[in-house]
Amino acid sequence: MDVLGLGADPVAADELVCSAKGCRAEARWGLLWNNPRLHTPERRKVWLACDDHREHLEQFLGARSFWKQTVPVGELEHV
């Protein structure tokens, strides 16, 4: 159930690790993004980020106009 209506793909509750390459830090943020060439407009893919990599990943997605929203990891739907 998507309580918050974020439309984000669920994340594995036991695998909340930063998505940055080579980083195994605990994720604190969920970056919601959409690639309009691959995804329907309502779809939200999720990258997880630690405090150190949040800005880097936001810039990466933002540069491609994919970034939509960043939320605390606790607000993501878990499976």
Q: Residue 67 Cβ, how far from Zn ion at the closest point, in Å?
A: 17
Which lies closer to Zn ion via its Cβ, residue 44 or residue 53?
53
- Using an 8 Å Cβ cutoff, are 31 and 47 in contact? yes
Distances in Å between the alpha carbon of 79 and those of 8, 15, 27, 49? 12, 10, 16, 18
CB of 46 to Zn ion, least distance (A): 15
Give the C-alpha distances (Å, rounded to integers) separating 18 from 37, 38, 73.
25, 23, 11
**CB 5 → Zn ion: shortest distance, Å?**
27
Whichever of 7 and 25 has its CB closer to Zn ion, that residue is 25
Q: Which is nearer to Zn ion, 8 or 31 (CB)?
A: 31
Question: What residues line the site for Zn ion (CB under 5 A)?
Answer: 18, 20, 23, 25, 50, 53
